[in-house]
Amino acid sequence: MSRSDAPETGETEGAEETEAEGTPSTDPIDLVGRDLEVGYPATDDPVVECERVVLPAGEVTALVGPNGSGKSTLLKALSGQLEPWGGAVELDGEDVYGMADKRRARRLGLLSQERESPGSLTVEDLVLHGRYPHRGFMEAVTEADREAVERAIDLAGVGHLRERELGNLSGGQKQLAWIAMTLAQETDVLLLDEPTTFLDLRHQLGVLETVRQLNRERGVTVGVVLHDISQAARFADNLVALRDGTPYDWGPPDEVVTEDLLADVFGVEASVGPGPEGPTIRPHRPLDERE
Ligand SMILES: Nc1ncnc2c1ncn2[C@@H]1O[C@H](COP(=O)(O)OP(=O)(O)OP(=O)(O)O)[C@@H](O)[C@H]1O
């Protein structure tokens, strides 16, 4: 990793837990991975190896890299959903894999790419699933749950779909419903794996603006996998660029997005120049002139 000092910014390692169990914190919280080795039952070797990665407190960090570079795997490991073979993940100094499941789910929300739910479930019922960490499967829905569901439905803009069954929705509509479910968890940390997949441009921008709003107004720490590096550079405070399961570089987009990165990580020859909202990437040859 070439920028070992950058993510130290804002880290509050070992800070004392001040909030009541499970209550969303108002203080931003760092999520840190150390000496991670992450693999799957079907893999002989780890597919992600990472000495150190930090999602700085109260900031938005985008994970970028080519297909298969380990972005989803790293995000799952950081979320507490895929226990690393080696190393540790800590949230504000607390071992994420040592937390009780309910506590972890109240603090870390993951929008995964792997989603399963009965097609007969309505959008509103799906969003209510996001409240289970707060009330347990057997407990009655409270007024607080109802209010959180309404907030999440409103933020994701799926009010008009609330009675619709998932099985009858388009890919983009389903995506928004899953985003609403994740938002209903109301966690300190929000981890989103390709939240803009299936969405048209208006909804892509809407989802990213909503995430930014939660970050700005509630101090939510965000980790997000985005495929469009230009969009990631405009949107995020920090980028982590992965190559072959290992961070190649990390830091502010202006520093990370370089011609070397595009060549070494993405295999693309392009020039990078300053732009009004972040680096501008111009491929050396238009796509239609390539072989
Ligand atoms: N469930 C699994 N079992 C075995 N190997 C897996 C599993 N999921 C992912 N992998 C492997 O782990 C590596 C990293 O995959 P991962 O999905 O994390 O990459 P990614 O950067 O998110 O890719 P993409 O951009 O295509 O979504 C790949 O080689 C992939 O084949």
Tally of CA atoms within 13 A in the half-sphere of 242 that contains its CB: 28
> How deeply is 269 buried, as exposed, middle or buried, from its count of CB atoms within 10 A (0-12, 13-18, 19+)?
exposed
Distance 68 CA to ligand 1 centre (A): 5
What pLDDT does 75 receive?
A: 97
- State yes or no: pLDDT of 10 exceeds 80: no
CATH number of 6-289: 3.40.50.300
Spatial separation of the C-alpha atoms in residues 291 and 287, rounded to whole Å: 9
Distance 40 CA to ligand 1 centre (A): 9
Spatial separation of the C-alpha atoms in residues 281 and 109, rounded to whole Å: 32
Determine which residue's CA is closest to atom 16 belonging to ligand 1: 70
Determine which residue's CA is closest to atom 6 belonging to ligand 1: 40
Alpha carbon of residue 142 to chain centroid: 28
Is the entire prediction scored with pTM above 0.90? no
Q: Structural domain boundaries of the chain?
A: 6-289
Determine which residue's CA is closest to atom 18 belonging to ligand 1: 70
Instruction: Kindly report the backbone phi and psi dihedral angles of residue 150, in degrees, each rounded to the nearest multiple of 5, phi listed first.
Output: -65, -40
Of 100, 98, 101, 102, which is closest to residue 88 (Cα–Cα)?
98
CA separation (Å) from 127 to 85, 109, 114, 156, 256? 32, 13, 16, 10, 36
Q: End-to-end CA distance of the chain, in Å?
A: 33
Q: Which amino acid is at 193?
A: D
Which of the listed residues 48, 69, 110, 194 should we mutate to test ligand 1's pocket, taking the one with most ligand atoms within 8 A of CB?
69
- State yes or no: pLDDT of 16 exceeds 80: no
For strands 221-225 and 238-243, give the pairing. unpaired
The answer to whether residues 150 and 162 touch, using CB atoms and an 8 Å cutoff, is no
Which atom of ligand 1 is the closest one to the Cα of 74? Answer: 18
Determine which residue's CA is closest to atom 29 belonging to ligand 1: 68
At CA 183, angle to CA 15 and CA 125, rounded to 5? 135
| Size of the chain, expressed as the number of residues it contains | 291
CB of residue 39 inside a 6 A radius of ligand 1: no
- State yes or no: pLDDT of 26 exceeds 80: no
Determine which residue's CA is closest to atom 26 belonging to ligand 1: 67
CB of residue 97 inside a 6 A radius of ligand 1: no
**Digit-coded pLDDT (tens) for 100-140:** 988 998 899 999 988 777 888 999 999 998 888 887 767 78
Q: How confident is the model at residue 289 (pLDDT cuts 50, 70, 90)?
A: low
Instruction: Kindly report the backbone phi and psi dihedral angles of residue 77, in degrees, each rounded to the nearest multiple of 5, phi listed first.
Output: -65, -40
What pLDDT does 13 receive?
A: 36
Spatial separation of the C-alpha atoms in residues 68 and 47, rounded to whole Å: 9
**Digit-coded pLDDT (tens) for 134-180:** 877 677 888 899 999 999 999 999 999 999 999 999 989 999 999 99
Determine which residue's CA is closest to atom 7 belonging to ligand 1: 40
Distance 11 CA to ligand 1 centre (A): 29
CB of residue 72 inside a 6 A radius of ligand 1: yes
Distance 48 CA to ligand 1 centre (A): 9
What pLDDT does 2 receive?
A: 43
Distance 245 CA to ligand 1 centre (A): 9
CB of residue 81 inside a 6 A radius of ligand 1: no
Spatial separation of the C-alpha atoms in residues 75 and 134, rounded to whole Å: 22
CB of residue 138 inside a 6 A radius of ligand 1: no
Spatial separation of the C-alpha atoms in residues 7 and 31, rounded to whole Å: 11
Determine which residue's CA is closest to atom 24 belonging to ligand 1: 67
CB of residue 47 inside a 6 A radius of ligand 1: yes
- State yes or no: pLDDT of 66 exceeds 90: yes
Which atom of ligand 1 is the closest one to the Cα of 75? Answer: 18
Task: Name 165's bridge partners.
Answer: 122
Mean pLDDT across the chain: 86
Spatial separation of the C-alpha atoms in residues 182 and 195, rounded to whole Å: 11
Spatial neighbors of 59 by CB under 8 A, at least 6 apart, are 10, 28, 215, 221, 222, 237, 238
